[in-house]
């Protein structure tokens, strides 16, 4: 099961061959949605892109260091706005979605998933939690928002020693549903992925418990005409419908 989840989350992705299309650097929180969008784009246009998934903070650092990505899809707009402010990218880009957090637990586990995190608090009181997964708050927006939500609920200090930290939110999801933790806080869009939903239960965490997850994209210096076309496709109705189906609010709807 672990190998299947790693493949499903792109954590075992091999480098693509040169010439297979421009590379789209996308936050792992939108992996399922963007994979589907890229397939639809190719089906409609006959043009291919390569997808690379990871944490927004790591991609932003790589872009500052000259990584040859063509499009950057961030999970937190502040990273792109920072690149623009520092003159690394030519524009501030465009918003494409707004995300939500969920608590996720393995089916049949001791921990209950509820929006108020009462089940998590009770499990901590009872000593039933050994490990709890979130993405790294230092460079993964969904990890930082998970920290904010746990602080809002008054659980951060108690749960910190028990945290299993994922390099990105997809890895945190893998930890949470594969038996490496009793649960976790991840992106709603990942919780809806069939391979995750089949093994877990989840509940949306109130959006006012954390700062918004406004997600923004930008064209980079390596963008070719195919990348420009994909960027435009991301703003169209077909891509919007896919994003919405994967639990992401469209700009202005969050």
Residue 124: Cβ within 10 Å count: 17
Phi, psi of 195 (to 5 degrees): -70, -20
Are 156 and 135 within one domain? yes
pLDDT tens, per residue, the chain with 254 residues: 434 444 455 443 433 334 589 999 999 999 999 999 999 999 999 999 999 999 999 999 999 999 999 999 999 999 999 999 999 999 999 999 999 999 999 998 889 999 999 999 999 999 999 999 999 999 999 999 999 999 999 999 999 999 999 999 999 999 999 989 999 999 999 999 999 999 999 999 999 999 999 999 999 999 999 999 999 999 999 999 999 999 999 997 75
Are 234 and 172 within one domain? no
Residue 250 lies in a domain: no
Residue 114 lies in a domain: yes
Residue 253 lies in a domain: no
Are 149 and 190 within one domain? yes
Residue 240 lies in a domain: yes
| Whole-structure pTM value | 0.89
Domain range for 200: 100-209
For the domain that residue 74 is a member of, what is the CATH number? Answer: 3.40.190.10
Domain count, the chain: 2
Rounded to whole angstroms, how far apart are CA atoms 41 and 56?
A: 23
Bridge partners of 51, per DSSP, are: 24
Are 183 and 92 within one domain? no
Are 65 and 79 within one domain? yes
Residue 43 lies in a domain: yes
Residue 201 lies in a domain: yes
Strand ranges for 110-197 from DSSP E = 132-135, 163-166, 184-187
Are 115 and 33 within one domain? no
Closest to 163 measured CA to CA, from 141, 181, 138: 181
Are 228 and 202 within one domain? no
């Amino acid at each position: 099961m672990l190998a299947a989840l790693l493949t499903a989350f792109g954590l075992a992705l091999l480098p693509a061959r040169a010439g297979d299309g421009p590379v789209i650097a996308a936050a792992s929180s939108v992996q399922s949605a963007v994979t589907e969008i890229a397939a639809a784009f190719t089906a409609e246009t006959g043009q291919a892109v390569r997808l690379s998934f990871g944490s927004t903070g790591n991609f932003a650092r790589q872009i500052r260091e000259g990584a040859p990505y063509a499009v950057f899809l961030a999970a937190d707009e502040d990273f792109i706005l920072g690149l623009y402010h520092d003159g690394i990218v030519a524009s501030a880009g465009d918003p494409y979605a707004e995300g939500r957090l969920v608590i996720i637990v393995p089916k049949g586990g001791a921990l209950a998933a509820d929006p108020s995190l009462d089940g998590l608090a009770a499990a901590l009181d009872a000593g039933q939690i050994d490990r709890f997964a979130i993405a790294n708050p230092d460079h993964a927006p969904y990890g930082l928002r998970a920290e904010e939500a746990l602080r809002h609920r008054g659980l951060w200090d108690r749960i910190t020693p028990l945290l299993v930290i994922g390099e990105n939110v997809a890895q945190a999801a893998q930890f949470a549903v594969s038996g490496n933790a009793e649960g976790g806080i991840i992106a709603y869009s990942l919780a809806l992925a069939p391979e995750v939903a089949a093994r877990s239960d989840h509940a949306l965490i109130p959006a006012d418990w954390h700062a918004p997850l406004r997600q923004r994209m930008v064209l980079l210096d390596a963008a070719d005409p195919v990348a420009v076309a994909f960027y435009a496709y991301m703003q169209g109705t077909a891509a919007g419908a896919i994003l919405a189906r994967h639990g992401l609010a469209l700009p202005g709807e969050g």
